[in-house]
Amino acid sequence: MSETNCTWFEERLARDDLPEAERRAVEAHLSSCERCGELYGLPDSLSATLTAPVAMEMTRTILDRTSGSSCSRAESRICESLDRDPDPVNRELLELHLRSCEACARLVPALQRLSLDLPHFATLSPDPFFVDDVKAVTSARPRGWPTRLHAGWKHWLMRPRASWELGYVGAMLLWLVFGAPISPVRGAHTRAIEALKQPVESIARTDVGWTDDVLATAQRTWQATRGIGRESLRGWGTDLKQRYRASEATARRLGSRSLEIGTESIHRALDLLSAEAPSSAPEKQDRNSIVNEGEDDASNE
């Protein structure tokens, strides 16, 4: 075979669109020319030994040793191709993979079927009374900012972390009241705990004025409560007024009784103190007069 024939053969070897006559001539040259047979016949003979399963196994082995399995990429391409048409290159690459990977190939029809089946789950009819129930619930609720405020507040409280937030705010408030340097009652809790640890007698002995303060505060509170009650009920019906008077009389009796009990308790405590410390007798006298005055005021009321 001449050199020209070999050149002619090589020019036509890579072409797919050869006329039938030329294709036969190329095949004839390949089988007759020793040089071209060695050069270009080798791949054919090699591929003939690679059966499809062997080729697939070989591909898998090479991928495992290089880039890893391409199935995950193929799976994401399959999903993307369901959402929108892939570009031609991606489509062809995917098709090549699907031809050789049975697992991925099975996913395609399953995913396509799912995309048809799943939208049917979007609606599910409740019972026929559902609308009436919703109307009954909603028509009873006026819309507007108070409702929304109430709903918002309720929603806020129902959140799982609401308790945590409330705890945080509470802790901050406690710190501001009792721990902040600018707080007027800073350290009050410490003093209170210390006072609780001391015996009652020592508190009464060292801080004589506290019972006077308590009594005076009780009197003022009583008078203020009574005044508020009168103000709030002024102008109401006679029936209400009578009820108020009856309740006022009851409250007065209760107040007097409470004062009596309180006075008695204080007397007992002071007696105990005077038994221990004779010097505190004048103070007892003073407190007696204060208590009696308060009692008189209450009964006059």
Partner 1 sequence: MLDLATILERCRQGDELAWEALVRRFQSRIYATAFHYVRDADEARDLAQEVFVRIYQRLDSARTDGFLPWILRVARNLCIDRLRRTKARAPLSDRRVEDGVEISDGSPGADQAWLTNARQRLVYRALDRMSDKSREMILLKEIQGLNLKEIAKLLDAPIGTIKSRSNRARLELAKTVLTLDPSYGA
Residues in the chain, how many?
301
Q: Please list, in sequence order, all residues whose beta carbon lies within 8 angstroms of the beta carbon of residue 106, skipping any fewer than 6 positions away.
A: none
Largest CA distance in the chain: 147
Q: Which is nearer to partner 1, 89 or 137 (CB)?
A: 137
Rounded CA separation 100/38 (Å): 31
Q: Which is nearer to partner 1, 128 or 282 (CB)?
A: 128
Q: Does 154 bind partner 1 (CB under 8 A)?
A: no
Q: How far is the CB of 66 from partner 1 (least distance, A)?
A: 24
> In this chain, which of 61, 112, 232, 285 binds partner 1, going by CB under 8 A?
112
Q: Which is nearer to partner 1, 106 or 230 (CB)?
A: 106
Tell me the one-letter amino acid at 112: Q
Rounded CA separation 1/210 (Å): 132
> In this chain, which of 7, 47, 69, 115 binds partner 1, going by CB under 8 A?
115
Q: How far is the CB of 82 from partner 1 (least distance, A)?
A: 8
Rule CB under 8 A: which of 40-79 touch partner 1? 75-76, 79
> In this chain, which of 65, 143, 197, 234 binds partner 1, going by CB under 8 A?
143
Instruction: State the burial class of residue 9 (Cβ atoms within 10 Å of its Cβ: 0-12, 13-18, 19+).
Output: buried
Structure tokens at 162: 């609401």
Q: How far is the CB of 125 from partner 1 (least distance, A)?
A: 5
Q: Please list, in sequence order, all residues whose beta carbon lies within 8 angstroms of the beta carbon of residue 161, skipping any fewer than 6 positions away.
A: none
Site residues, partner 1 (CB under 8 A): 75-76, 79-80, 82, 106-107, 109-115, 117-127, 130-131, 133-135, 137-139, 141, 143, 147-148, 151, 158-160
